[in-house]
Structure 1
């Protein structure tokens, strides 16, 4: 009987469950069955996956406290994914759960959703897509809730998430309008109010309305119960107050973070301390108390993971107080701490580089700048600035080296012989002292080795090993560990016996080379050679310690001395330009130009140096010196362009006919018209006129190109080499260096190419420029004849070969035979309408040539060599 009732009850339960599974019947059982299944099964697992994914996003995100923090801890990736692809498996699982809940448990009856958990499913779907950075599908999910479930208890959260998504899609104005309406029209409180205010603050930050963001962040910080969020909002407010120069308000925000202490991530706590320390007012604050404050941060064991930043802050404090040695020590301590903060490493390296640059230690500064670039994002704006500075520093290092070396030589040359002797005597005495110290060090090392060997022998005796014994005796007395950890009696596995054997060999045979018949007596010849070498070395050492050696190496001829002085003066000029134009180091530039003018420089450097000094004096506010320099230039160089600029400053800005820009443009036009001789002559005039001006190397390049076209490869190479040596610091000089390294070796090839290797050919008609022939009329006739050839696309050009020769060239022929055939066709007789022969229109001699070979004869001016080959 009991079994009967059990069966009935089981069938009833099955029928009830089957009835409740239906999504088409709006009954109490059906609604609650699907709602409970959705909430406690599908959405529960989906929420777990979502939270796991959010934790992964948070862990992957690195806070950059050097910039304004984002309100939401999430980094948007630039990676592109195809539709349906997901960046995170957890978010993909959460999305699948949400979709399953909607598809399997949705009860849309008569246009209304009866499962009150479906809006939660859509919210989960939108959040999963949002954190997976698929913002358009996320927006669709949130809009679906707003359209279908306007009475949902989650409607305010949905509106906030929708506007957060809009902000990610750069619809900030729309987000601000809707969030303000939400806050004004709805009575929201608690975490919803905090989230809405925080989202509105981020939108204001995005549109640069940071003052409006401050108030919203205050509301968010006051209403959120999540400590991490509260710390973030206070920190961003502190950063914004610092931007507005309101240090007291900023410190109040940082104090609010510090008071939370261990309730928040340590990074916020430490950076709040550091940001507050940057606001310290040294003029009104207690310096001793502030130093103790920094020391306490440094010595706190809990702060060890952040010592890199703490050391950097202490270094900045010492540098600001002009304690450069302490600052450098702390910058290096910051670098020695293992840190993933590349920006901090770059700051440390760059600051150290700047410190060494200011002390004129340029090689060390350059090394620090190199390290700076390794810690920066390549091709970023900051990277390009440092790279440019480093490249400019190469020129500084080069010219400073020349200046220092040549100054030293000239100073010593100017001394009387007695002072030179005293100077080099002191130098050689120092070298002798260093040599003695090195000898003592070597002796101490030999004694240490001898003591170690004696200890080995003593140990051998105590171990029962006979120093004079044979290998068998060693093997019988000692057990060693061989390969693989296996005990072995082979004496080469015993380090003690090996060391003893090496020592005995050296005592008996000396240091012999590894070679056949090493024991033969003729090997003593090498010992004799070594003795000779030792004698030569001794002679060299004696010369090194003799002051007269150095005095004899000094230049004595006036030509050599003048060359050294000229090189030194040019280095000073280049340094003055570099410091002024590229580093804006006006004081350094001023000192270099003033030193140059005091060293009797060559005339070409005097005027531009004085003009640059005038400009520097103006910028430094040295008005009396500037007026004196202006008067000097106007009085002594009245016809110069600089005097014209000083007397009429507006002419420098006006693009009149005498400005370098206009002259260069006109000259380039002549270059295109192949008036190369006029270009060379006018360029030389302008180079002399604009000595020291930025346009001078531009005219040099134009002149070099014209000389190459007119005189050939060797003239071009010589001109480019001159530009590279004379203007190494300019863009034109660097371009010339590149041409010398890359293009010149290719252009130097003058071997003619076989005709079967070429694809294009030309017919050349040669004219003597002094013959009086009408070249233009010839070209007109040739164009008419060439246009009749329909199966080739022929063109005609006039090319200058040299000062005496001009070529008229027909281009577009495809073989050497075809080129010759075309020219012969033009020279053949034609027949008129009456059958009478007509005189050919083209009777001038010609030669055919491939395009590569034509380029060679134009480049090297070796036409005769080519014609001999024919």
Structure 2
């Protein structure tokens, strides 16, 4: 009886609840049931998911302290998403909960919402879509709140979020208008005021109105109850004062950040100190107090994660106070400490590169600039600037290497036999000592590895692993290779065994880079120990490699002399380092250079003397050039400098420009002949590479793809470090493969067609007369926009082309477009060729093949 009563009671209660909790009835129980279910179940879980997603975004976000921070600490990407995809599963879950709340608990009765929690649901929906970077759907959800729930207690929050979304859609002016209206009409306070004014500040920053943004950031900082937000707003405010040049105001604001100390994240605290350090007045400031502050920051153990930025700023201090060596030491400490901040690494490398450049250590500077590029965004403005500086060093590094290597070879060639032997005996003794040290190190590493293996193995007796738990095993298994000193040392040893000591540079595996100089450590073993009978430990092995053939020695000397000349010109023209230029050119003239280099070297040396103010030496050299090389153009330049500057028709640049004009006029045969002549006349100057590349292009236009490919290859090999050589290599690698195909498309499948008149062994006058007659006839043709041109096909064949046909039938009937009773009517036979096939014919010079295959 009792059991049946309970069943009946439960059934009745369930029926009562079902009837009275309907979403279609405006009852007290229904309203409160759905409100409670919405607030304490669906929205509660949705807000938790939203906060989880925001926390993950904050964890992944890295502030860029080298630029003004964003007011909102979020990183939005430009990656496109397919429908149904999400960047963060937490936001998808939050959106699902919001949608579920709307679908299952909305009480829209007679156009009015009776569930007071629905505005919260739509607000959650808008926020979830906003953080998931789906801004248009987010705007729809937020606008629905403003339209449907004007009396909601969350209406101002929804308005602020709507304007944040508008900003993400680049509607900054609209956001400013709406937010200013909100502040004027509503009496906001607390966090609502902070959110509205901070959003307004970001909108003003987006449109570059900095002073107004500063005012709103101050209001936001004063209104928010969150210390983290206040610290961020004040920090941004200080940064903005710096952009306006108000350093005193910026420092006062940064002091407010510093005074908050542990109430704010350490990032802002250290950042404020760093920004203040950037503003330090090195002329009037208290350097002792400033250095003590930097030392305090450096020594504080809490600042270890920020030592990279601190060391960089200490380096800046020493550099500004002319203690370059200490500055360099701290920049290097910053590089060793910092790993994640690529901008900081790029700045450190760039400063070190500039210092090396100023000290004329160009190879070192080039290495630093290479490291700078690896830390910069590809094709950014900074990247392009540094890349240009680095490219300017290519030539000087290349020729410096040649001069050093060839000088050392020639020095060995000129040494007496006894001194050569003594030199290499000392060198091989050094190798033996280094090999002994290396062997001992390897044995120590092997013992350490053996102990590690024995300690990390399985205990056979207990059948248990040395790893006591899965967490420890996973931690060791996931350790990065180079963080384990033993395995890293083992790998390094194996590398040296196989490859020897190699410099950290491109193409390190080339066979001609096996020998790395006196500092290389070579270990040759025979299984039982070091084999000191190996060739690398025998002086005779190295003596046999010294060249003895006079032709080889002479070519080495010529290559060295040319490198000296190029270095002298590069230091003078590119880097304005007249002392270095003078040294290189003086060395060249002492080395008995070939005739082609003597006069240019003397002239450039004369210019160096003149620029250095050494007028006596300059006058002596000037007289030497005028008296002993009177027929050269350099002597003419010195005799009549004003006239030569005003009009020097024989200068390399003028000659090149005139030759290029002939190229544009399609006089390719003349261009090739002039380029060959001028390459000999201006030998030893960079302009030669320009003539060679122009010659290669003319060859391609005249003789086709195969000859063009060969000519480009010659230019790329002859001038690998000049822009023209690099351009030739780029064309050879990227352009030639695209035009290699020499087959033809179907005759009728072309989109545009050309009428081609062919002239074989015709004079220029005859061709010009025909073109004039053709143009006269084309002007009489209606309905078709036709033009003509003249193209050289080969040394003996020229084409006159009529362009503008989009229909094959019209092109084939071109002669019928002329009036039959016109006495000047053109009757010369022609061929119709599609534009695509005509291009292939000009590239590959295969006109005969075309007629045999297509016609």
Same fold, TM-score > 0.5, yes or no: yes
Residue of 666, 680, 687 corresponding to 2:672: 680
Secondary structure in 2 matching 1:39:
helix
Q: State the match for 2:335 in structure 1.
A: 335
1:478-503 deviations in Å (ceiling 9; x for gaps)? xx99x97669xxxxxxxxxxxxxxxx
1:22-171 equivalent positions in 2, closer than 5 A: 22-171=22-171
Secondary structure in 1 matching 2:208:
coil
Q: State the match for 2:565 in structure 1.
A: 569
1:702 maps to 2:694: yes
Equivalent-residue separation in structure 1 for 2:535 and 2:680 (angstroms): 58
Q: State the match for 2:501 in structure 1.
A: none
Q: How many residues align?
A: 706
1:491-545 deviations in Å (ceiling 9; x for gaps)? xxxxxxxxxxxxxxxxxxxx9889xxxxxxxxxxxx9xx99x999946678x79x
Residue of 582, 588, 593 corresponding to 2:577: 588
Q: State the match for 2:506 in structure 1.
A: none
1:205 maps to 2:201: no
Equivalent-residue separation in structure 1 for 2:441 and 2:128 (angstroms): 72
1:589-668 equivalent positions in 2, closer than 5 A: 591-592=580-581, 596=585, 637=636, 646-647=645-646, 663=658, 666-668=661-663
Equivalent-residue separation in structure 1 for 2:706 and 2:24 (angstroms): 95
Judge conservation of contact 1:403–1:571 (CA < 8 Å) in 2: no
Equivalent-residue separation in structure 2 for 1:231 and 1:535 (angstroms): 65
Q: State the match for 1:820 in structure 2.
A: none
Secondary structure in 2 matching 1:281:
coil
Give the greater-gyration-radius structure (CA).
1
Equivalent-residue separation in structure 2 for 1:596 and 1:439 (angstroms): 40
Judge conservation of contact 1:637–1:643 (CA < 8 Å) in 2: no
Equivalent-residue separation in structure 2 for 1:274 and 1:624 (angstroms): 52
User: Which consecutive residues of structure 1, in runs of 5 or more, have no partner in the other structure?
Assistant: 451-479, 488-510, 515-526, 652-657, 781-795, 811-840, 843-849, 864-870
Equivalent-residue separation in structure 2 for 1:87 and 1:717 (angstroms): 49
Equivalent-residue separation in structure 1 for 2:760 and 2:198 (angstroms): 83
Q: State the match for 2:235 in structure 1.
A: 235
1:555-585 deviations in Å (ceiling 9; x for gaps)? 99999867754552234224544xx2xxxx3
Judge conservation of contact 1:634–1:643 (CA < 8 Å) in 2: no
Equivalent-residue separation in structure 1 for 2:402 and 2:67 (angstroms): 43
1:138-188 deviations in Å (ceiling 9; x for gaps)? 111111111111121211111111101100100000000111111122111
Equivalent-residue separation in structure 2 for 1:175 and 1:213 (angstroms): 14
Judge conservation of contact 2:705–2:844 (CA < 8 Å) in 1: no
Equivalent-residue separation in structure 1 for 2:169 and 2:549 (angstroms): 74
Judge conservation of contact 1:400–1:575 (CA < 8 Å) in 2: no
Give the 3 Å change call, closer, same or farther, for CA 63–747 of structure 1 in structure 2.
Answer: closer
Give the 3 Å change call, closer, same or farther, for CA 245–617 of structure 1 in structure 2.
Answer: farther
Equivalent-residue separation in structure 2 for 1:536 and 1:598 (angstroms): 35
Q: State the match for 2:247 in structure 1.
A: 247
1:95-152 deviations in Å (ceiling 9; x for gaps)? 2222222222222223222222221221111111111211111111111111111121
Secondary structure in 2 matching 1:269:
helix
Give the 3 Å change call, closer, same or farther, for CA 312–249 of structure 1 in structure 2.
Answer: same
Q: 1:90, CA displacement in angstroms?
A: 2.0
Q: State the match for 1:396 in structure 2.
A: 396
Equivalent-residue separation in structure 2 for 1:747 and 1:139 (angstroms): 51
Judge conservation of contact 1:701–1:723 (CA < 8 Å) in 2: yes
Secondary structure in 1 matching 2:233:
helix
Equivalent-residue separation in structure 1 for 2:536 and 2:106 (angstroms): 103
Q: 1:428, CA displacement in angstroms?
A: 8.3
User: Which consecutive residues of structure 2, in runs of 5 or more, have no partner in the other structure?
Assistant: 444-453, 462-524, 627-631, 748-755, 774-788, 802-827, 830-836, 850-855
Give the 3 Å change call, closer, same or farther, for CA 48–615 of structure 1 in structure 2.
Answer: farther
Give the 3 Å change call, closer, same or farther, for CA 709–448 of structure 1 in structure 2.
Answer: closer
Judge conservation of contact 2:61–2:73 (CA < 8 Å) in 1: yes
Q: 1:400, CA displacement in angstroms?
A: 2.3
Equivalent-residue separation in structure 1 for 2:600 and 2:134 (angstroms): 65
1:203-602 equivalent positions in 2, closer than 5 A: 203-337=203-337, 339-403=339-403, 537=538, 564-577=560-573, 580=574, 585=575, 587-588=576-577, 591-592=580-581, 596=585
Q: CA RMSD in A?
A: 6.0
Q: State the match for 1:502 in structure 2.
A: none
TM-score (norm 1): 0.65
Give the 3 Å change call, closer, same or farther, for CA 38–431 of structure 1 in structure 2.
Answer: same
1:579-607 deviations in Å (ceiling 9; x for gaps)? x2xxxx3x326752786489669678967
Secondary structure in 2 matching 1:637:
helix
Q: State the match for 2:820 in structure 1.
A: none
Give the 3 Å change call, closer, same or farther, for CA 50–640 of structure 1 in structure 2.
Answer: farther
Judge conservation of contact 2:231–2:264 (CA < 8 Å) in 1: yes
Q: State the match for 2:193 in structure 1.
A: 193
1:733 maps to 2:729: no
Secondary structure in 2 matching 1:26:
coil
Give the 3 Å change call, closer, same or farther, for CA 226–659 of structure 1 in structure 2.
Answer: same
Equivalent-residue separation in structure 2 for 1:598 and 1:336 (angstroms): 40
Equivalent-residue separation in structure 1 for 2:285 and 2:580 (angstroms): 38
TM-score (norm 2): 0.66
Give the 3 Å change call, closer, same or farther, for CA 686–216 of structure 1 in structure 2.
Answer: farther
Equivalent-residue separation in structure 2 for 1:643 and 1:800 (angstroms): 44
Judge conservation of contact 2:704–2:843 (CA < 8 Å) in 1: no
